[in-house]
Structure 1
Amino acid sequence: MNDALITDALIRGRHAKRGFHRERVVPLETVRDILAVAKYAPSSSNTQPWRCYIVIGNARDRLADAAVEAYRADPESLAPEYSFFPQPLHEPYSARFNAFRGQLGDAQGVARSDKAGRRRDVERQFRFFDAPVGLIFTMDRRLEWASFICYGCFLQNIMLAARARGLDTCPQQIWSLQYPVLREQLDIPEGEMVVAGMSLGYADDSLPENNMALRRLELEEFVSIVEA
């Protein structure tokens, strides 16, 4: 298989996984190797705005327990460091969002009206979906929004490098809601904004939510060709 086909297969084969085999340990050296490759992501004028915290072992468990405790105590008070979506989310994005949430809920057996079930799903996110490795990403808050473009390239590199090693991931914006807990647990300074988290491990593909086929836009839906 040539390089183009290998790369295409990695990109198409990357899916966000929402359940992992906790008992299948990922060596720390493998995580370091993934990040060492991901650092070659492009960034504006080589500013490289990313900072990453690897959370494993007892530290991972303490963080997960603290995040779940904070969520249970007052879920409505949790606010992200930056807005995820405009309120209200407009079309066509709201239709795509709702279609995805409905598909995910069906796979998990959790109806949109099932508040208890939805809260259990959020708690699973704060436990990194049982993945043995949690990654937390921060950025100097003095930087401007354009640095998020660079950050997206870095995160995609991580996910593809992980997939090339037989591992799976789930990028998680939701960790930005837990910045007070993260600051306390990981000693993150105030000058760093929590961008996202990520679950990393061996996916449990017996779970229906790990086997969803998501509709992707056809080229005609998002590409304009200008020839003259």
Structure 2
Amino acid sequence: MSIAELLKQRTSIRAFTDQPVDAATVRALLDDARWAPSGGNLQPWKVLAGAGGGGQAVQRLAVETLLRNPGGEAGEYPIYPANLGEPYRSRRFKVGEDLYALLGIPREDKPGRMRQLARNYQFFGAPVGLFFVIDRQMGHGQWAHLGMFMQSVALLAEERGLSTCMQEAWGMLRQSLHRHFELAEHELLYCGMALGYADRSAAINQLRSERAPLEEFAQLRGFD
């Protein structure tokens, strides 16, 4: 499969089967992904991978934390900017509405929407959860390089018949996860990623978010 095909095929999967993913497969994915671009060769990433009991412990932590504080833990790096402007606000609103429409959960069903949101903290049923960590001294450039590494993991998973969902929702629990993983003071947990085999029968996995046309974001200058 070509890289272009992998890019178009990859999507955020929010329902997985219980088929396990073994340690050798996870190790191979990460071993290949380490060749992702890295400015100055800093390689500013660290990965924590959990399966079975390890993953369940994190899920229990999430439930306990959110029961105490349903709004999550306030952090220095919010998932979205405050007062998000256009066209970004409308894009975010639409993909959310499309997702809940597939599930048959209307806007007024707040408990139903909260239950679906809570599935983030179960890795949507995936057998493996990955967490990505960066050193606090790193700047915006290195955060971009971490994103390239994560994209590489996702595409390599797709190539092997696996699926992923990148989950910034775990950023709502940074303080608790920092303590749970006993991270060093200079380490910052960025986000998580669900990894496993997609449940192709699940309605939610039919969601395909729209993309802006090329003319909306690209300018080609100086070409004949």
TM range (shorter): over 0.9
User: What is the RMSD computed on CA atoms of the aligned residues?
Assistant: 1.4
Query: Are the counterparts in 2 of residues 81 and 176 from structure 1 also a CA contact under 8 Å?
Result: no
Matched, 1:56 2:51: yes
Q: Distance in 2 between matches of 1:196 and 1:77?
A: 14
Query: Are the counterparts in 2 of residues 54 and 135 from structure 1 also a CA contact under 8 Å?
Result: yes
Matched, 1:15 2:11: yes
Matched, 1:71 2:66: yes
Distance change in 2, residues 1:108/1:80 (3 Å):
farther
TM-score, normalised to structure 2's length? 0.95
Distance change in 2, residues 1:80/1:205 (3 Å):
farther
Which residue matches 2:201?
206
User: Could you say what secondary structure the match of 1:42 adopts?
Assistant: coil
Q: 1:177 is matched by which residue type in structure 2?
A: M
Which residue matches 1:85?
80
Query: Are the counterparts in 2 of residues 170 and 199 from structure 1 also a CA contact under 8 Å?
Result: yes
Within 5 A, what are the aligned runs for 1:172-187? Answer: 172-187=167-182
Matched, 1:225 2:220: yes
TM superposition shift of 1:81: 4.3
Q: 1:12 is matched by which residue type in structure 2?
A: K
CA offsets 1:43-71 (integer angstroms, 9 cap, x no match): 11111100000011101111101102211
Q: Distance in 1 between matches of 2:186 and 2:96?
A: 33
TM superposition shift of 1:168: 0.1
Is the deviation greater in 59-68 or in 186-195? 186-195
Q: Distance in 2 between matches of 1:21 and 1:45?
A: 39
Is the deviation greater in 179-188 or in 218-227? 179-188
Query: Are the counterparts in 1 of residues 13 and 205 from structure 2 also a CA contact under 8 Å?
Result: yes
Q: Distance in 1 between matches of 2:213 and 2:14?
A: 26
Distance change in 2, residues 1:81/1:39 (3 Å):
farther
Which residue matches 2:31?
36
Q: Distance in 1 between matches of 2:101 and 2:152?
A: 30
Within 5 A, what are the aligned runs for 1:189-204? Answer: 189-204=184-199
TM superposition shift of 1:134: 0.2
User: Could you say what secondary structure the match of 2:49 adopts?
Assistant: strand
User: Could you say what secondary structure the match of 1:75 adopts?
Assistant: coil
Query: Are the counterparts in 1 of residues 44 and 145 from structure 2 also a CA contact under 8 Å?
Result: yes
CA offsets 1:131-176 (integer angstroms, 9 cap, x no match): 0000001100111122111011100000000000000000001111
Q: 2:205 is matched by which residue type in structure 1?
A: N
Matched, 1:135 2:127: no
Which residue matches 1:163?
158
Distance change in 2, residues 1:118/1:80 (3 Å):
farther
User: Could you say what secondary structure the match of 1:127 adopts?
Assistant: helix
TM superposition shift of 1:226: 0.8
Query: Are the counterparts in 2 of residues 81 and 179 from structure 1 also a CA contact under 8 Å?
Result: no
Distance change in 2, residues 1:20/1:81 (3 Å):
farther
Gaps in structure 2 of 5+ consecutive residues: none
TM-score, normalised to structure 1's length? 0.93
Query: Are the counterparts in 1 of residues 65 and 72 from structure 2 also a CA contact under 8 Å?
Result: no
Gaps in structure 1 of 5+ consecutive residues: none
